[in-house]
């Protein structure tokens, strides 16, 4: 009599180890965010999503002294990514500068739409996350540079300048204005995504008084019961 057939035991696969961000203050797990827009998908790594006012308060209370702003995923960058995706061919073949790139989502979307992108941030840690995220999305038309707005050396001209939630610090306004005036090509546009912070409105109003064209579209993100409003402001030089 032949032996009964043996049932092979299946060995469960070990769960994938999370990617880590290693810093002098310790190591932090990197999470994935998937953005589905216009029939496409982008994915970025981040240390945490900051969607609500409560998330923001928690970050400032517990993480600010350990991690730079940019390695978290801020909702203004998600709103800006949505705006870019709706504009499609507007970025094909264009030169794009991203200020305070952080995790790099808007610049990655612009590059995937055909732009040649320069992503800048003053934190090397954020630039390393940007590089990982560019690789994840298989975009090659991105250059990354460490840069400080108060010691800005770039004299190139760009068709688009992008930034997400960068207007909160009034002492930086003069530096940002100088970058807009110096680096925006004739006929170019600035796109600034912002959660209608008071300090931000002050700069935008001052630019408008000085002859800049300022228009905006409104996006809502976060909790469905209490969505948070974001404006994507388009600036055109006088």
Q: What are the C-alpha distances in Å from 92 to residues 111, 131, 219?
A: 8, 21, 24
Terminal Cα distance for the chain, rounded: 94
Is 79 in contact with 230 (CB distance < 8 Å)? yes
- Residue 175: what pLDDT? 98
Cα–Cα dist 49/71, whole Å:
10
What's this model's pTM, rounded to 2 decimal places? 0.89
How buried is residue 195: exposed, middle or buried, by Cβ count under 10 Å (0-12/13-18/19+)? buried
Q: Please give the Cα distance from 28 to 132 (Å, whole number).
A: 15
Fold of the domain spanning 74-236: Rossmann fold (3.40.50)
At a CB cut-off of 8 Å and minimum separation 6, what does 221 contact? Answer: 51, 75, 78, 79, 227, 228, 230
C-alpha 40 chain-centroid distance: 17
Closest CA to 154 of 131, 128, 173, 175: 175
pLDDT in tens, 7-50: 334 444 434 556 877 766 667 788 899 999 888 999 999 988 88
| Lookup: tokens for 165 | 């939630």
Give the pLDDT of the chain (238 residues) as one tens digit per residue: 444 443 334 444 434 556 877 766 667 788 899 999 888 999 999 988 888 778 777 777 776 666 677 888 999 999 999 999 999 899 999 999 999 999 999 999 999 999 999 999 999 999 999 999 999 999 989 999 999 999 999 999 999 999 999 999 999 999 999 999 999 999 999 999 999 999 999 999 999 999 999 999 999 987 667 789 999 999 999 9
> How much is the pLDDT for 2?
40
Whole-number pLDDT of residue 166: 96
Tell me what pLDDT residue 231 has.
97
Look at residue 197 and give its three-state secondary structure.
Answer: coil
Which strand (E) or helix (H) includes residue 161? strand 158-164
Residue 17: per-residue pLDDT = 52
Number of H helices, E strands in the chain: 6, 11
75-87 and 105-112 helices cross at what angle (nearest 10)? 10
Where b means 16+ CB within 10 Å and e means fewer, 85-119 reads beeeeebeebbbbbbbbbbbbbbbbbbbbebbbbb
Q: In 3D, which of 235, 238, 144, 236 has the Cα closest to residue 193?
A: 235
Query: For residue range 89-101, what is the model confidence (pLDDT) as tens digits?
Result: 999 999 999 999 9
| pLDDT value of position 1 | 41
What are the two backbone dihedrals, phi and then psi, of residue 67, each rounded to the nearest 5 degrees? Answer: -135, 145
Q: How many CB atoms lie within 10 A of CB 69?
A: 19
């Amino acid at each position: 009599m032949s032996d009964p057939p043996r049932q092979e035991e299946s060995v469960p696969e070990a769960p994938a180890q999370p990617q880590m961000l290693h810093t002098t203050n310790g190591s932090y797990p990197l999470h994935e965010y998937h953005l589905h827009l216009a029939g496409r998908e982008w994915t970025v790594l981040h240390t945490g999503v900051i969607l609500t006012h409560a998330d923001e308060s928690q970050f400032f209370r517990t993480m600010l002294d350990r991690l730079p702003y940019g390695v978290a995923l801020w909702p203004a960058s998600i709103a800006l990514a949505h705006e870019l995706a709706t504009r499609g061919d507007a970025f094909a073949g264009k030169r794009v500068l991203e200020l305070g790139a952080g995790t790099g989502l808007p610049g990655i979307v612009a590059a995937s739409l055909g732009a040649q992108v320069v992503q800048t941030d003053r934190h090397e840690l954020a630039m390393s996350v940007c590089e990982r995220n560019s690789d994840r999305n298989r975009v090659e038309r991105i250059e990354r540079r460490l840069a400080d707005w108060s010691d800005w050396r770039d004299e190139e001209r760009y068709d688009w300048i992008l930034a997400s939630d960068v207007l909160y610090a009034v002492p930086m306004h003069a530096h940002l204005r100088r970058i807009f005036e110096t680096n925006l090509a004739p006929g170019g546009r600035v796109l600034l995504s912002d959660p209608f912070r008071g300090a931000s409105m002050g700069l935008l109003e001052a630019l408008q008084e000085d002859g800049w064209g300022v228009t905006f579209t409104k996006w809502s993100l976060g909790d469905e019961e209490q969505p948070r409003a974001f404006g994507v402001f388009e600036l055109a030089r006088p």
